[in-house]
Structure 1
Amino acid sequence: MRILSRKNLIFISFLTAFSYANLSAQNAEITINQDQKIPMLLDLKTEMSEDNKIGDRYKIQLFYGDNNEASEVFKEYENKYSYPAMIDYETPNYKVYVGNFRNRLEADRALLQIKENFPGAFIPKPKRR
């Protein structure tokens, strides 16, 4: 009685040869050639995203008025919420903005929470840049 028949021996040798060929094919090296400007452009895009200079983003306006009141509203807001806020000067008044939301749905969700303490808050139409 043989331990391995001829069919099994042929099958095992075929399987071994196939797996060896497959393993040696996976050791290939890949070379990627890219333009030198791509990393520079990615850095520029990251910087512009951080400065809120890209795209149509939604913000919530909390206040419109003089500097002292805007500072008070800003401080009160920062004590209660975690969305980023900023004071923007548009002649002759100051505006307090909250957030940098990608879509209207995110802005509306935040507005529902913020309206509890700032009932005059609203979402102005985003400016195209």
Structure 2
Amino acid sequence: MKLKYPQILIFSAISLTLSNYSFAQDGVVIIDQDKDITTLLEYKKDVKTADLYKIQLDFGSRSEAMSLEQNFQNTFSEWPAEVVYETPNYKVWVGNFSTRLEADIALKKIKTKFSKAMVFEPKKED
């Protein structure tokens, strides 16, 4: 009996498939780690994503900053605003954006009313 090339190819493919199943092994992996590792990973995630980007509206005297913050809150209530003192100016900062893209999208909306607004990454306090 003479086997043709396609029959040999099919026979080889079936043989290889069956051999993989006949030598398959099942295993169970048990991870034994300290429970504090999970807590530390959660803490690191919280620290890393806290206050990554903000938008600064403007800066000036305390009364100007308070007025600007109130004006912003009346116009855009979806983002929190705060007045921050950095010598020698009071600055109005908006939002807590986790990504630069999210901050840029908000900036586009905010710039329609507050033309001096800009995105920045605040310095982390050690």
User: TM tier, shorter chain?
Assistant: 0.5 to 0.7
Query: What's the TM-score, normalizing by structure 1?
Result: 0.57
- Consecutive unaligned residues in structure 1, runs of 5 or more: 1-32
Classify the secondary structure of the residue corresponding to 2:74. helix
* 1:72 matched residue in structure 2: 67
Partner of residue 111, structure 1: 107
TM-score normalised to structure 2 length: 0.59
After superposition, the C-alpha distances for 1:11-65 in whole angstroms (9 at most, x for unaligned) are: xxxxxxxxxxxxxxxxxxxxxx98675797699779969x84xxxx111100111
Cross-structure match for 1:58: 53
Structure 1 pair 74–42 and aligned structure 2 pair: CA distance change class (3 A): farther
Letter in 2 for 1:62: L
In the superposition, relative to structure 1, how do residues 91 and 112 fare at CA in structure 2: closer, same or farther (>3 Å)?
Answer: same
- Quote the residue 1:83 is aligned against: 79
Structure 2 CA distance for partners of 1:108 and 1:87, relative to 1, 3 Å: same
Percent identical pairs in the alignment equals: 44
Once the two structures are superposed, what CA deviation does each residue of 1:105-125 show, in whole Å capped at 9, x if it has no partner?
A: 10010001000110111112x
CA-atom RMSD in angstroms: 2.8
Q: Can you give the 5+ residue segments of structure 2 that lack an aligned partner in the other structure?
A: 1-31
**Whole-angstrom CA distance in 1 between matches of 2:55 and 2:37:** 34
- Which aligned runs of 4 or more in structure 1 are off by greater than 4 angstroms? 33-49
Cα distance in 1, alignment partners of residues 73 and 45 from structure 2 = 25
Map 1:1-129 onto structure 2 (within 5 A): 52=51, 57-81=52-76, 82-124=78-120, 126-129=121-124
Deviation at 1:92, TM superposition (A): 1.2
- Contact 2:56/2:93, CA 8 A, preserved across alignment: yes
CA distance in 2, matches of 1:47, 1:102: 11
For residues 111 and 94 of structure 1, the distance between their equivalents in structure 2, rounded to whole angstroms, comes to 20
Looking at structure 2, the residues matched to 123 and 107 of structure 1 have their Cα atoms a distance apart, in angstroms, of: 7
Give the number of aligned pairs.
96
